[in-house]
Amino acid sequence: MTGRQKKRLLALTGSLAMVICAGMALGTAYAQTMEQEQQEEAAVQSSVLPDVLEEETLEDTEEKLSDDTQEEEHLPEDWNLILVNRTHPIPEDYQVELKNIGSGHQIDARAYDDFRAMIQAAKREGVYIYVTSSYRDLDKQTDLYNKKVESYVMQGYSYESAKRQAGQVVAVPGTSEHHLGLALDIVSSEYRKLDEKQEETKGFQWLSEHSWEYGFILRYPNGETEITGIIYEPWHFRYVGLEAAKEITEAGITLEEYVGAKPVSEGLAALEEQERQKKTAVQTPSLERQEGYLKEDTEENLYE
């Protein structure tokens, strides 16, 4: 190694040390600021946060923003408005008191009376509707989902795309509204298949007109898959309570829009982007590792 090279190396080591020192100083200063902020925050805990703080959050890194997505939505906590979809899994500790509605089906006890009233009103008008699916526990959903994935794999799809396809038809376990006991698949007496032809039945036509009067909405309307994450299902009805059902029906919107949640397609795209970023982060050596490599190299060279 020439003298000039050695000098360069020494200079490099020196500047590295300076950068590290500066970093440490900054870190200490930052920690102090953080501590101050925490103290101030504690002091104003119960009062309203100033607008400035919210603006600062907006200016934060994109990564932080995507982490905060869930909090930013401020979803309502009402039991009847709880949102469960592909980007909003059911809370792990979710508990529900169920009531039997016949033929082995169960519904959230709080929606029972409105459900009974709806079935009876339909019957009075000569419309006979039947529940084919109601509350499902996690095991049942896992079973349904796995079978669907398998059927796509058999059709020649890759496992990944089979999972994606299956997720649009059968909810991924933990993301089905049926876990809530607030969702019902309802068919008409004259046609009992769960497909788009269900919309031509007397039962569906009656429900489209009247279900809101009993607190139920058509949960996955035609053309709203981007928002709901689920294909058009003219049989899946969801209890949201009388007031919300009226407002949602009048406005012609989805539950996602009503509670102010992001469209499922957007949430899924964000999740995929996060996954991609994680993978890239693993592939690119971190600055620390680069520094370590330089240091080792330098020390070795000094022994020359």
Task: Return residues touching Zn ion (CB under 5 A).
Answer: 185, 236
185: enclosing H helix or E strand: strand 183-188
Of 87 and 228, the one with the shorter C-beta distance to Zn ion is 228
Q: Catalytic residue among 62, 150, 200, 233, which?
A: 233
Burial of 300 (C-beta count, 10 Å sphere; 0-12/13-18/19+): exposed
Q: How far is the CB of 169 from Zn ion (least distance, A)?
A: 11
Closest listed residue to residue 119, CA positions, set 184, 37, 200, 22: 184
Residue of this chain nearest to Zn ion (CB atom): 236
Paired residues of 99 in beta bridges:
107
CB atoms within 10 A of CB 16: 14
Q: How far is the CB of 235 from Zn ion (least distance, A)?
A: 7
How many Cα neighbours within 13 Å face the side chain of 111? 35
Paired residues of 236 in beta bridges:
185
Of 147 and 295, the one with the shorter C-beta distance to Zn ion is 147
Phi and psi at residue 108, to the nearest 5°: -55, 125
Distance in angstroms (rounded) separating the CA atoms of residues 8 and 191: 83
Of 134 and 249, the one with the shorter C-beta distance to Zn ion is 134
Q: How far is the CB of 80 from Zn ion (least distance, A)?
A: 17
Of 184 and 280, the one with the shorter C-beta distance to Zn ion is 184
Q: How far is the CB of 133 from Zn ion (least distance, A)?
A: 6
Find the radius of gyration of the CA atoms of the chain.
28
Annotated active-site residue 233? The verdict is yes
Q: What is the DSSP string of 96-155?
A: --EEEEETTEEEEGGGHHHHHHHHHHHHHTT--EEEEE----HHHHHHHHHHHHHHHHHT
Of 185 and 266, the one with the shorter C-beta distance to Zn ion is 185
Q: How far is the CB of 189 from Zn ion (least distance, A)?
A: 19
Q: Which residues are catalytic?
A: 233
